[in-house]
Copies of this chain bind each other. A is one copy, B any other.
Amino acid sequence: MLLANDLLIRTQGAIHVIDERNCIDLLKSVGVGRIGITLDALPIILPVNYIYMNLGPDLDGCILFRTDPGTKLDAAFRHSVVAFEVDQIDYDKEEGWSVLVIGSAEVVDDSILEDRAMTSGLHPWSGGMKTHMVAITPKIVSGRRITH
């Protein structure tokens, strides 16, 4: 009976795993995500507008965003391992999906890639200098979806 009840509960509004390929497609479909880094031993989460771009025909993609020198860039300079999350929530239906990327962040020093990114529409929403571009190369990609 416990098992039956457990199964019953789990089939109500289940959490579905999203495979990596679909996670990447979802990453490409969204323009704002949230980067999670540790700053002064404290975890912080900051939203950034980004693009997901393949670095070459035979290369994997990466998450690119622009930033001013600051916490995000400091993390990037240190080649930090960071979390990057995108999601889409339907409050009325109480449904949604989220994709979590864990990867290494580094400052991009590649003018060709920077030009490609800007041509693809990557620009700082906040104005400001945003003189640096940071790339997050995914190492672990996972996603989940809640549907009813």
Which residues of A in the span 68-94 have a Cβ within 8 Å of any Cβ on B? Answer: 81-85, 87, 89, 91, 94
Task: Tell whether, in the assembled complex, residue A45 and residue B45 are in contact, meaning their CB atoms are under 8 Å apart.
Answer: yes
Task: Tell whether, in the assembled complex, residue B36 and residue A44 are in contact, meaning their CB atoms are under 8 Å apart.
Answer: yes
Q: Is the interface of A mostly helix, strand, loop or mixed?
A: strand
Task: Tell whether, in the assembled complex, residue B87 and residue A126 are in contact, meaning their CB atoms are under 8 Å apart.
Answer: no
A135 contacts the other chain (CB 8 A):
no
Chain B residues lying within 8 Å of A36, measured Cβ to Cβ, are 36, 43-45, 83
Chain B residues lying within 8 Å of A46, measured Cβ to Cβ, are 85, 98, 100
A42 contacts the other chain (CB 8 A):
yes
Task: Tell whether, in the assembled complex, residue A83 and residue B43 are in contact, meaning their CB atoms are under 8 Å apart.
Answer: yes
Q: Mark the stretch among A5-13, A19-27, A51-59, A107-115 that contacts chain B.
A: A5-13
Task: List the interface of chain A (C-beta within 8 A of B).
Answer: 6, 9-15, 31-32, 34, 36-38, 42-47, 49, 81-85, 87, 89, 91, 94-96, 98, 100, 102, 125-129, 140, 146
